[in-house]
Amino acid sequence: MKVLVIGSGGREHALVWKLNQSSYVEKIYCTPGNAGIAKVAECESISVMNTKRLIQYASKNKIDLTIVGPEMPLVAGIVDEFEKNGLKIFGPRRRAAELEGSKVFCKDFMKKYEIPSAQYRTFTDYDKASEFLNYNKGPIVVKADGLAAGKGAIVCQNLEQSSKALDLIMKDRAFGSAGEKVVIEEMLQGSEVSIMALCDGENLVYMLPSQDHKRIFDNDQGPNTGGMGAYAPTPCMTEEMLKTIKTTVMEPTLKGMQAEGRPYKGVLYAGLMLTDDGPKVLEYNCRFGDPETQVVLPMAESDLVKVLMASIDGNLNDIDWKNRKRGRSLCGSCFRRLSRAV
Ligand code: AMP
Ligand code: GLY
Check residue 342 and give its pLDDT: 43
What gap in Å lies between CA 302 and CA 102, rounded to an integer? 32
Q: Across the chain, which distance is largest between two alpha carbons, in Å?
A: 60
Bridge partners, residue 270, by sequence: 195, 284
How close is the Cα of 291 to the center of ligand 2, in Å? Answer: 7
Cα distances (Å, whole numbers) of residue 267 to 67, 68, 129? 11, 10, 33
Q: Find the angle CA(303)-CA(305)-CA(307) to the nearest 5 degrees.
A: 75
Given a contact cutoff of 8 angstroms between Cβ atoms, the answer to whether 242 and 262 are in contact is no
Backbone angles phi, psi at 67, to 5 degrees: -120, 130
- Identify the nearest ligand to the CA of 272 by its number: 1
Pocket test of ligand 2: the residue of 212, 287, 296 to mutate, having most ligand atoms within 8 Å of its CB, is: 212
Q: Find the angle CA(140)-CA(234)-CA(246) to the nearest 5 degrees.
A: 75
Q: Which residues line ligand 1 (CB under 6 A)?
A: 118, 141, 143, 152-153, 155, 185-188, 192, 214, 224, 271, 282-283
Task: Compute the average pLDDT of residues 48-66.
Answer: 98
Check residue 261 and give its pLDDT: 98
Check residue 332 and give its pLDDT: 52
Q: Kindly state the percentage of the chain with pLDDT values over 90.
A: 85
Pocket test of ligand 1: the residue of 187, 191, 282 to mutate, having most ligand atoms within 8 Å of its CB, is: 282
Tens-digit pLDDT profile for residues 171-225 = 999 999 999 999 999 999 999 999 999 999 999 999 999 999 888 898 888 888 8
Q: What length does the chain have?
A: 342
> Would the CB of 10 count as within 6 Å of ligand 2?
no
DSSP state at residue 334:
H
Check residue 339 and give its pLDDT: 56
- Whose alpha carbon is nearest atom 16 of ligand 1? 282
